[in-house]
A and B are shown apart, each in its own frame.
Chain A
């Protein structure tokens, strides 16, 4: 592919093929070069349009180098890499420029993706859905999927197309979306949903076959949550607390029923 102007030469269909392949970017993840096979696999439709012969082989090998980023944010890096490959094909850039761009950008993109998707959007959407399920909303799990994937699919698609449009400046575009600010605010909503969920659990405990009587359930639940929170803050693993609680409860019940049968 040789062209003197800077107009994009990769069509929407090819970009959509790259987008589809990006859903499998982590399929062959390995300890040595992480998502390299997936990234190379995604780039194939675009590289075929841009290079041929030895240039194609070199470009394919270039994209099998180490790569590790957030899977949803990889779309932006794929789009920008295609743009840079165009410039390589025109002789305006070196192949090493594409490799360097990926090397420098995969870390920051992964950080944005981790903070937005994994530690904010997922707990936020899950907390809402759990509250919904316990309140009897049968479609709450579906709502979780729709809420999460609306953001996921939008950002994946936007990243790829904008990345292809602006090339190396893709990070500025992603930064302008203020994902980190949203991530920070979502913690407040998640906390409200979790507070309400605790209340619903207390209500269910009152209706259960083993109520504590006198409306003590909410306070008991709150105290246990605080004890568990303290344990988690001190680094106790969840599994240890799970099995520890089971053992403790069984021992306590056996003791109480043996020595205080009327309890």
Chain B
């Protein structure tokens, strides 16, 4: 078995296990993008870059929350796909990328491309979550039958089956989306000109963090808190300018 296949299996299993944490089991927030990308990075041999990817994606999907019956975008599937595509690209095309053990060591153009290619996975994941909820209807009627007979073991099996089903569906989806994303990223990146690489770098360095911060700030309900964010930023920016001798 090739190294690529082993890596893909590892990423798929990580995707499947983390998807359980979203709803089916525990809900310890390990499935949040920050943690999910860090875990993928750890498995692929560069935890620092994984943490950086996770930080950007956490900001972008800060508003994905399970409110009531609402099913949000599946940020876990998208995060594992994006970080998986990034690290598999690095292993296949330029393994030296993985030797940069620094928090801002990510290659900006590859990261931006992986995010643009992998983001639609969150919509696929959302659709899959809706389908799984529909499939669980039959399990609920099986539970009714067991309860009317006074049986408890079938109910425990139903819960177990639902967990297994969630794992298998998400692990399979992770494998499919990651393979697709990495092929597209490798193919597109090899044909990119200087202009496009520069544009993707600007997107990764300036626009993606800015969009993530904006999404996160939009969740802050207090106007005074927004003013506080602005003031903190000005203080930090002034300190940076002075440290660099620009003030």
A209 to B124, CA, bound (A): 35
Interface string of A94-126 (1 = CB under 8 A from B): 000000000000000010001000110011001
User: Which of A6-14, A26-34, A157-165, A170-178 interfaces with chain B?
Assistant: A26-34
A31 to B70, CA, bound (A): 10
Which residues of chain A are near B47, meaning CB under 8 Å? 138
Distance of B196 from chain A, by nearest CB (Å): 6
A9 to B152, CA, bound (A): 21
Decide if A250 touches B163 in the complex (CB within 8 Å).
Answer: no
**CB of A38 within 8 Å of the partner chain:** yes
**CB of A1 within 8 Å of the partner chain:** no
Decide if B215 touches A197 in the complex (CB within 8 Å).
Answer: no
Decide if B137 touches A32 in the complex (CB within 8 Å).
Answer: yes
Interface string of A120-140 (1 = CB under 8 A from B): 001100110110011010101
Decide if A210 touches B202 in the complex (CB within 8 Å).
Answer: yes
Decide if B149 touches A144 in the complex (CB within 8 Å).
Answer: no
Decide if A199 touches B162 in the complex (CB within 8 Å).
Answer: no
A119 to B221, CA, bound (A): 10
**CB of A182 within 8 Å of the partner chain:** no
Interface string of B46-90 (1 = CB under 8 A from A): 011001101100111111011111000000000000000000000
Decide if A44 touches B214 in the complex (CB within 8 Å).
Answer: no
Q: Which of A29, A61, A205, A224 contacts B147 (CB 8 A)?
A: A61
Q: Which of A33, A114, A201, A238 contacts B209 (CB 8 A)?
A: A201
Which residues of chain B are near A114, meaning CB under 8 Å? 65, 67-68
**CB of A16 within 8 Å of the partner chain:** no
B side interface size, CB within 8 A: 99
A61 to B104, CA, bound (A): 55
Decide if B233 touches A199 in the complex (CB within 8 Å).
Answer: yes
Task: Given A29-B136, A191-B226, check contact A64 B210 (CB 8 Å).
Answer: no
**CB of B191 within 8 Å of the partner chain:** no
Decide if A195 touches B229 in the complex (CB within 8 Å).
Answer: yes
Interface string of A34-49 (1 = CB under 8 A from B): 1011101100100010
Which residues of chain B are near A203, meaning CB under 8 Å? 240
Known: A26-B24, A57-B149, A133-B103. 16 other contacts (CB 8 A): A27-B163, A29-B136, A30-B137, A31-B69, A110-B68, A123-B219, A126-B58, A141-B54, A188-B222, A191-B222, A204-B205, A214-B246, A221-B209, A242-B116, A245-B211, A254-B195
Question: Which residues in A have some Cβ–Cβ distance to B below 8 Å?
Answer: 23-24, 26-34, 36-38, 40-41, 44, 48, 53, 56-57, 60-61, 64, 68, 71-72, 110, 114, 118-119, 122-123, 126-127, 129-130, 133-134, 136, 138, 140-141, 144-145, 148-149, 152, 184, 187-188, 190-192, 194-210, 214-215, 217-218, 220-222, 224-226, 228-229, 231-233, 238-239, 241-243, 245-246, 249-250, 252-254, 257
- Nearest 7 CB-CB pairs, A to B? A199-B236, A195-B232, A228-B214, A195-B229, A191-B225, A30-B136, A191-B229
